[in-house]
Amino acid sequence: MREIVLDTETTGFEPAEGDRIVEIGAVELHNHMPTGRTYHQYINPQRSMPQGAFEVHGLGDDFLRDKPVFSAIAQAFLDFIGDAKLVIHNAAFDMKFLNAELGWTNRPLLPMDRAIDTLAIARRRFPGAPASLDALCRRFGIDNSTRTLHGALLDSEILAEVYLELIGGRQPDFGLSANTDSPMTRGGDAGAWRPRPRPTPLPARLTDAETAAHEAFVAKLGDDALWKRFS
């Protein structure tokens, strides 16, 4: 199963008011494990950077001036994500911006059901607790000391670790769900499964001396010894 952990940085909160994406970072997972493949792109928003947004991510007008516009990188981005599920913290925000940018380039929009929202997962698992990325790093003991400013690729890498913890660690199903034809899953009745007898018993690993010593010890316990009820 392929998933893409994704984050964006923007000039603000509302594409409908002229805000744009200025950075996209993404990390590929296969069967919940990072593959090492990443996508990272800075984008010229074709507008000035508000001070409030600059203080969040540190991406200013001078730095972004020579970067490509979204329409120039859109296809490369779509090629990277393919048809994978998109793991995003506060998915509604990033999906809103991605679909606005895709719409402005006359490309098909990304359906919301492709998004796995880690913010929603965290709120369900820990009701009433802080659910920001930093708070989840503290909860799971994930090192985010390099996150002095928001950055799309760094945040994606951190979010990948958080996501794996949210779904149960780096082996969330321990591989049990992979074999749907196993005796434990066939028919959906795990409680009815019983191991079959071995065709041939396992050979004893005790030596003759050890067996004799054990029998002598049991003999000293007397006829009422609990051991003798099961021997």
Q: What is the pLDDT of residues 164-215, one digit of tens each?
A: 999 987 555 444 444 444 444 444 444 445 566 666 666 777 788 888 887 7
Task: Look at residue 64 and tell me if it is in a domain.
Answer: yes
Alpha carbon dihedral 84, 87, 90, 95, in 10-degree steps, equals: -20
Task: Look at residue 105 and tell me if it is in a domain.
Answer: yes
Task: Look at residue 123 and tell me if it is in a domain.
Answer: yes
| Predicted confidence band of residue 220 (pLDDT cuts 50, 70, 90) | confident
**What confidence tens digit (pLDDT) does each residue in 28-72 have?**
999 999 999 999 999 999 999 999 999 999 999 999 999 999 999
pLDDT (0 to 100) of residue 202: 66
Looking up residue 37, the CATH number of its domain turns out to be 3.30.420.10
Give the predicted TM-score (pTM) of the model: 0.73
Task: Look at residue 187 and tell me if it is in a domain.
Answer: no
**What confidence tens digit (pLDDT) does each residue in 131-169 have?**
999 999 999 999 988 777 789 999 999 999 999 999 987
Catalytic residues: 150
Interatomic CA distance for residues 32 and 89, integer angstroms: 16
Closest by CA to 23, choosing from 36, 40, 37, is 40
If 0-12 CB within 10 Å is exposed, 13-18 middle and 19+ buried, where does residue 99 land? middle
Task: Look at residue 98 and tell me if it is in a domain.
Answer: yes
Is a pLDDT exceeding 80 seen at residue 222? no
Task: Look at residue 100 and tell me if it is in a domain.
Answer: yes
Task: Look at residue 88 and tell me if it is in a domain.
Answer: yes
The total number of residues shown for the chain amounts to: 231
Q: Looking only at Cα atoms, what is the longest distance across the chain?
A: 93
Number of structural domains (the chain) is 1
Task: Look at residue 139 and tell me if it is in a domain.
Answer: yes
Higher pLDDT, 218 or 115: 115
> Cα 160–161–166 angle (5° rounding)?
95
Closest by CA to 70, choosing from 50, 45, 95, is 45
Interatomic CA distance for residues 19 and 13, integer angstroms: 7
| Predicted confidence band of residue 230 (pLDDT cuts 50, 70, 90) | low
pLDDT (0 to 100) of residue 185: 42
Find out whether 140 and 162 touch, Cβ atoms under 8 Å: yes
Domain that holds residue 52: 2-166
